Amino acid sequence: LVEGATFHDGTPFNAEAVVWNFNRWQYADAPGHFEEEVFEYYDYMFGPGEDSFIGSVEATGEYEVTFTLDEPNGSFLNTLAMPMFAIASPTAVEANGPAYGSPEVGFVCTGPYQFVEWVSDERVVLERYPDYWGEVSGNVDRVVFQQIPDNAARFAALQAGEIDAFEQPNVEDLPAIESSEDLYIEMRGPLNVLYLAFSYRIAEFRDPMVRQAINMAFDRAAIVDAFYPPGAIAAKSFLPPSLWGFNPDLADIAYDPEGARALLAEAGYPDGISEVNVLGFNDDGTVSDEVVDTIPVTLFFQPVVRPYNPDGEGIGEAMISYLADIGIQAELGSVGDWGAYLDARANGELLGMYQLGWTGDNGDPDNFLGYFFGGVDVPKASEGFFQQPDLAEVLQTARAMTSQEEREPLYQEAEQMIYDNAYRVFIAHTGVPLAFRSCISGYVTNPVGTELYKTVTSDC
Contact between 398 and 161 under an 8 Å Cβ cutoff? The reply is: no
How sure is the predictor about 16, in pLDDT bands with cuts at 50, 70 and 90? Answer: very high
Cα–Cα distance for residue pair 299/323, rounded to 1 Å: 10
Supply the angle between the helices 312-325 and 208-217 in degrees, to the nearest 10: 110
Q: What is the pLDDT of residues 244-276, one digit of tens each?
A: 999 999 999 999 999 999 999 999 999 999 999
Q: State what percent of residues in the chain have pLDDT above 70.
A: 99
Q: Cβ atoms within 10 A of the Cβ of 53, count?
A: 15
Q: Which of 32-46, 112-126, 183-197 has the lowest mean pLDDT?
A: 32-46
Residues of the chain with CATH 3.10.105.10: 192-429
Average pLDDT value for residue range 8-17: 98
Residue 355 has pLDDT above 90, yes or no: yes
Predicted confidence at residue 166, as pLDDT, reads: 96
Q: Which residues belong to CATH 3.40.190.10 in the chain?
A: 149-188+432-458
Element (H, E) at 332: strand 330-333
Residue 153 neighbours by CB distance under 10 Å = 12
Is 395 a residue whose pLDDT tops 70? yes
Q: Tell which CATH classification among 3.40.190.10, 2.170.150.70, 3.40.50.300, 3.30.70.141 matches the domain 149-188+432-458.
A: 3.40.190.10
Q: Mean per-residue pLDDT for 10-15?
A: 98
d(CA 115, CA 152): 29
- Containing 418, the helix (H) or strand (E) segment is helix 404-421
In this prediction, residue 330 carries a pLDDT of: 98
Which three-class secondary structure string do you get for 26-51?
A: HCCCCCCCCCCCCCHHHHHHHCCHHH
pLDDT value at position 176? 95
CB 231 within 8 A of CB 428: no
**C-alpha–C-alpha distance, residues 13 and 351, integer Å:** 48
Q: How many CB atoms lie within 10 A of CB 375?
A: 19
Domain 192-429 annotated CATH 3.40.50.880:
no
User: How high is the pLDDT of residue 258?
Assistant: 98
pLDDT grade for 377, boundaries at 50, 70 and 90: low
Concatenated DSSP letters of 395-406: HHHHHT---HHH
Per the model's pLDDT, the better-predicted residue between 219 and 379 turns out to be 219
Top CATH class, 15-110: alpha beta
Q: Is the pLDDT of residue 359 over 80?
A: yes
Burial (0-12, 13-18, 19+ Cβ within 10 Å), 368: buried
Residue 153 has pLDDT above 90, yes or no: yes
CB-based contacts of 268: which residues, under 8 Å, 6+ apart? none
Instruction: Decide if pLDDT at 300 tops 90.
Output: yes
- How large is the average pLDDT for residues 27-46? 87
CA end-to-end span of the chain? 37
Residues 6+ away with beta carbon under 8 Å from 96: 105
155: confidence class by pLDDT, cuts 50, 70, 90: very high
pLDDT of residue 376: 64
Q: How many CB atoms lie within 10 A of CB 242?
A: 14
d(CA 52, CA 25): 11
Q: pLDDT at position 295, please?
A: 98
**What residues does CATH 3.90.76.10 cover in the chain?**
15-110
